[in-house]
Chains A and B, each alone.
Chain A
Amino acid sequence: MNATVITPDLPELEPPRSFYAYKSGLGSWLVTTDHKRIAILYAVTITIFFIMGGVAAAMMRINLVEPNGALLSAETYNKTFTFHGVVMVWFFLIPSIPATLGNFLMPIMLGARDVAFPRLNLMSWYLFVIGGCFTIACLLLGGVDTGWTFYTPFSTMFSNTNVILVAVGVFVTGFSTILTGLNFIVTTHKLRMPGMTWFKLPLFVWAMYAVSLVMVLATPVLAMTLSLIGLERIAHVGIFDPALGGDPLLFQHMFWFYSHPAVYIMILPAMGVASEIIPCFARRKIFGYQFMVYALVGISVIGFLVWGHHMFVAGMSPTATLVFSILSFAIAVPSAIKVFNWTATLRRGRITFEAPMLYALGFVGLFMIGGMSGLMLAAPALDIPLHATYFVIAHFHYVMVGGTVMAYLGGIHYWWPKITGRMYSEAWARFAAILMFFGFNFTFFPQYVLGYLGMPRRYHAYPPQFQLLNVLSSAGASILALAYLIPVVYLGWSLFRGARAGNNPWGARGLEWQTTSPPPKGNFLERPVVQAAYAYDEPSPDGRPAPGATA
């Protein structure tokens, strides 16, 4: 392993050409096995899915402006929120950071030339696209009205919609998630370059590793559970059917055994992104690196043990309720360690507020609010009155949208110069980040109040006293929608007209900043130099002084 050249016996390297240029044409993209190109295929696909899910959200918010429903009938409303949930969870949030930024960056951060199984990586994308198109077609032609949770016995006995077809689509997509997770785990274990030890890995890689463990171990459970729902609908017999001695609660256990860890599939990568951005713009080594690692892995492990907190009102035994409640409080500890360490990293930092930093700080704040309200829901005494109200909706949107989407966009901005080789308009980017933060809070904070006042989720109409807060939320949603559209414009402009970015426009540490922007096909033209993670107290390998030296 002590080879002095990274590619001892590869043929002569081509002249430095970016991974975009070495082959051209749509066909070369559709058969590519280059992890960077696959990342871009994913990015384009999930952006389309995000827009579709966003349109469904907009329709719901328009509908809820009036107490009797301004736009949609009850049936259409049910199908709309199911569409929104299914698309946003499985076709945007779960693949968002891992399949795009993770795919692009993780091998580079390890000093590897590609992921362990490049063809499997491409197959993941195809499964994702096939599953996605199939599911969305079924959701649009006819629709499903069960909500994204497919609760039995409604989904198995009563719903007259395309439950089976949508379940098949999600099943197929699940395998794309499993294969991505498998690829990441094996790549991290086996393809680290010489000198890249486990505790030199950037926290982004650790986050990808932790999330992959969850993907690989939780997703098969969802796949089998959904297939049992399909079998039950076909055979009119099944283990979830109370009329046959089956148990609908068993479905909820199995579903949340996947779907609660799935929440961590969504948030762990966001934590990884924030852990890269904050040290860079505070010019400080991250505070408590090893604790951050243990917190990531701890969250992924404890995340498997808390699913019961979704079922406090479903008829579990008081003992189970108590145990799940305590475990749900326990998982707040590693999450709090992370927030504490991000904050401590800022202390004495030389902070600048570039757009990625604004997104990252917005992420920390919103994640904290979402997490704290999660603690409230972990207490059965509070959860029982708040269950299935807008309080829960607000809680998980603070984590999923305020957390994951903010971090995703922060990561896109942070690594945009690396991925595309060009800069974007910093002023517009800062404006969009700030607008998004306020638009998000205008949309979802009123929903906490609505839930506290008792407005249930998933209703197309509501009593008139809730109108003011609903109108506020819908108005906020329109600001949020605008804030999401602005980056599409300036990032699109940057692709063609943006100033050329150097290899390391932020003065950041990490192997990805040592290669060219955009990177060549095999990721590195010269062997990169491994430093400790976040070596902002040392000069960078390209000769920049240590920005944190004076602190």
Chain B
Amino acid sequence: MNSSTADLRARGLIAEQFDDAGQQHATAQFGMWVFLATEVLFFGVLFAGYAVCRVRDPQGFLLGSQHTEILFGAIEAGILLLSSATVTFAVNLIKFDERRAVAVLLAITAMLGVAFLVLHGVEYSHEHDEHLMVGVDFSQHGPHARGIELFFFLYYAMTLYHSLHVLVGVCVLATMGVLVWRRKIRSEYTTPLVLAGLYWHLVDIVWIFLFPLMYLIGR
């Protein structure tokens, strides 16, 4: 253990403040969990706002939800769930130095993320055509028009923040793929890939909550 620790340190794979690779890995992973906790609070504000506004005008929120496209939402949910599976395979296979398989899995995961973003962009453009784009072009009528507007304000705030996270995740996963391909990430040093996987699961979990709140309540 000691000789391999010295070897890893000499190659710059163990930072000065750590005693060994195990401590470094556990520390980084714990740091990621703390970061994910901050993310939960970050999105938590939006969920709290959603709860308050929906209680104030439940009918408006139901009508707003009926304007969303459930097929798109469901496919997007499927895409993210699938991508969580592929990233999990990648994180597990790196332990066996399956370089090619891991790189391919990461590429697939990143492409699924891109597909999610594209589909969501199509959705946004449909909503624009239907004059639902709050702040840009919104016109609805009837007694619950304001509730619908508020629903769509939250819809955009929440999905845009989520998509931003997807975009960051795609960039991170693509970088991980390149690092794996170049043998910078291998069984002896998997930390960045494990952290990227954790982050990607958060992106997935947020959507698992957004999907029913935005798409399913009106049906």
Q: Given the interface contacts A9-B5, A235-B153, A245-B147, does A254 sit within 8 Å of B17 by beta carbon?
A: no
8 sampled A-B residue pairs with Cβ under 8 A: A1-B19, A9-B6, A10-B16, A112-B17, A113-B17, A178-B38, A190-B26, A245-B146
Q: Given the interface contacts A182-B38, A228-B45, does A235 sit within 8 Å of B30 by beta carbon?
A: no
Name the residue of chain B whose CB is nearest to the CB of A249: B52
Are the CB atoms of B30 and A236 closer together than 8 Å? no
Interface membership of B35, Cβ < 8 A: yes
Interface membership of A537, Cβ < 8 A: no
Query: Which one of A186, A223, A246, A254 contacts B31 once the chains associate, using CB atoms below 8 Å?
Result: A186
A237 to B138, CA, bound (A): 10
Interface membership of A247, Cβ < 8 A: yes
A219 to B41, CA, bound (A): 9
A190 to B30, CA, bound (A): 9
Indicate with 1 or 0, residue by residue over A1-30, a CB within 8 angstroms of chain B CB atoms: 101000011100000000000000000000
3 interchain residue pairs of minimum CB distance: A235-B135, A220-B42, A224-B45
User: B1-40: which have CB < 8 Å to A?
Assistant: 2, 5-6, 9, 15-19, 23, 26-28, 30-31, 34-35, 37-39
**Chain B interface, DSSP helix/strand/loop, else mixed:** helix
Interface membership of A368, Cβ < 8 A: no
Residues of chain B contacted by A219 (CB below 8 angstroms): 38
A424 to B164, CA, bound (A): 51
Indicate with 1 or 0, residue by residue over B39-55, a CB within 8 angstroms of chain A CB atoms: 10111111011001100
- CB proximity of A50 to chain B, nearest CB, Å: 27
Name the residue of chain A whose CB is nearest to the CB of B49: A239
Are the CB atoms of A239 and B38 closer together than 8 Å? no
Residues of chain B contacted by A247 (CB below 8 angstroms): 52-53, 56
A114 to B136, CA, bound (A): 49
Query: Which one of A112, A186, A221 contacts B34 once the chains associate, using CB atoms below 8 Å?
Result: A186
Are the CB atoms of A239 and B153 closer together than 8 Å? yes
Interface membership of A238, Cβ < 8 A: yes
**Chain A interface, DSSP helix/strand/loop, else mixed:** helix
Are the CB atoms of A8 and B23 closer together than 8 Å? no
Residues of chain B contacted by A235 (CB below 8 angstroms): 134-136, 153
A113 to B135, CA, bound (A): 51
Residues of chain A contacted by B35 (CB below 8 angstroms): 182
Chain A, interface size category, equals 35 or more
Residues of chain A contacted by B135 (CB below 8 angstroms): 231, 234-237
Residues of chain A contacted by B154 (CB below 8 angstroms): 239
User: A112-133: which have CB < 8 Å to B?
Assistant: 112-118
Interface residues of B (CB under 8 A from A): 2, 5-6, 9, 15-19, 23, 26-28, 30-31, 34-35, 37-39, 41-46, 48-49, 52-53, 56-57, 60, 134-136, 138, 146-147, 149-150, 153-154, 157
Interface membership of A406, Cβ < 8 A: no
Indicate with 1 or 0, residue by residue over A199-229, a CB within 8 angstroms of chain B CB atoms: 0000000000000000011111101110010
Residues of chain A contacted by B2 (CB below 8 angstroms): 8-9
A115 to B28, CA, bound (A): 12
Name the residue of chain B whose CB is nearest to the CB of A114: B17
Residues of chain A contacted by B6 (CB below 8 angstroms): 9
A231 to B157, CA, bound (A): 8
A246 to B149, CA, bound (A): 11
Residues of chain B contacted by A9 (CB below 8 angstroms): 2, 5-6, 9
Residues of chain B contacted by A191 (CB below 8 angstroms): 17-18, 27
Residues of chain A contacted by B37 (CB below 8 angstroms): 216-217
Name the residue of chain A whose CB is nearest to the CB of B5: A9
A8 to B8, CA, bound (A): 13
A224 to B17, CA, bound (A): 33
- CB proximity of A473 to chain B, nearest CB, Å: 38
- CB proximity of A451 to chain B, nearest CB, Å: 32
With a 10 A CB-CB cut-off, give which of A114, A234, A246, A247 has the most chain B CB atoms. A246
Name the residue of chain A whose CB is nearest to the CB of B134: A237
Residues of chain B contacted by A228 (CB below 8 angstroms): 45-46, 49, 157
Query: Which one of A115, A236, A244 contacts B150 once the chains associate, using CB atoms below 8 Å?
Result: A244
With a 10 A CB-CB cut-off, give which of B17, B35, B56, B149 has the most chain A CB atoms. B17
A221-B44, A239-B53 given. 8 additional CB < 8 A pairs?
A: A8-B2, A113-B16, A220-B42, A221-B45, A225-B45, A228-B157, A235-B136, A237-B134
Are the CB atoms of B146 and A182 closer together than 8 Å? no
Are the CB atoms of B31 and A182 closer together than 8 Å? yes
Are the CB atoms of B49 and A244 closer together than 8 Å? no
A8 to B18, CA, bound (A): 11
Residues of chain B contacted by A254 (CB below 8 angstroms): 45, 48-49
Are the CB atoms of A3 and B150 closer together than 8 Å? no
A178 to B52, CA, bound (A): 27
Name the residue of chain A whose CB is nearest to the CB of B40: A220
Query: Which one of A186, A220, A250 contacts B52 once the chains associate, using CB atoms below 8 Å?
Result: A250
A8 to B147, CA, bound (A): 65
